[in-house]
Chain A
Amino acid sequence: KAKLLLHDEL
């Protein structure tokens, strides 16, 4: 599952 994870939290 090549999810491009964008972590928007610090």
Chain B
Amino acid sequence: MNIFRGIADFSHLAAIIILLHKIWKSRSCAGISGKSQILFAIVFTTRYLDLLTSFISLYNTSMKVIYISCSYATVYLIYMKFRATYDGNHDSFRVEFLVVPVGGLAVLINHDFALLEILWTFSIYLESVAILPQLFMISKTGEAETITTHYLFCLGLYRALYLFNWIWRFYFEGFFDMIAIVAGLVQTVLYCDFFYLYVTKVLKGKKLSLPA
């Protein structure tokens, strides 16, 4: 573990909690893409199947359980409890255009042609594009609630910090995982436009609205 990964995991956990809390407190999922949340639930489910096969540390196991349970709770709130507030018209990204190519790529490019490893690879590739329905929805509605922008900032920051974690681990441990690094780069690049708007608008107290 290193400082970058520590802060990154904290930022990721914060994002997940911020979103769950926002939906629960406001009893509304307006402006939230249910499709992205379903993709994240799939990402965690396919990535953390090793909960059943290997134990790394109490931290590792507990964080995985927290991520999985919070993501399913979020999906439940969006599609069941507060489904009346779900804005399906603006959450119209065709996720099959993400899942199918990502699935194919995971079968073609992976570290080991074993089921758990292919699922892990699928999860890594899927996570890099899972936020697209949410970003697409914001571009369609033309705005985002401030709490949603904080959620997105923490979510984007987490994988950006993982990039530094991988630099650290390469330098100090000689460890690197090309699949995770390339996917992490793609994932972080997809947030760049949002990061710019977040820093130039939200941090100045303005509301995030498009076109800028």
Binding site for B on A (CB under 8 A): 1-3, 5-10
Contact = CB atoms under 8 A, between A and B. Distances in A.
Contacts of A9: 5, 162, 165, 180
A8 B2 CA distance: 13
B111 A6 contact: no
Interface secondary structure of B, over-half rule = helix
Nearest to A6: B54
Given A2-B112, A2-B114, A7 B63 contact: no
B9 A7 contact: no
B150 interface: no
A6 B51 CA distance: 11
Nearest to B5: A9
Contacts of B9: 10
Nearest to B9: A10
A3 B63 CA distance: 25
Contacts of B12: 10
Interface in B50-74: 50, 54, 56, 60, 63-64, 67
A3 to B, nearest CB: 5
Contacts of B50: 6-7
A7 to B, nearest CB: 6
Contacts of A5: 111-112, 117, 120
A10 B180 CA distance: 11
A8 B180 CA distance: 12
Please name the 6 residue pairs, one residue from A and one from B, whose CB atoms are nearest each other, closest first: A3-B112, A8-B56, A5-B111, A10-B63, A5-B117, A10-B9
Contacts of A1: 112
The residue among A1, A2, A5 with the most chain B CB atoms within 10 A of its own CB is A5
A1 B190 CA distance: 33
A5 B6 CA distance: 22
A8 B120 CA distance: 12
B13 to A, nearest CB: 9
A3 B110 CA distance: 11
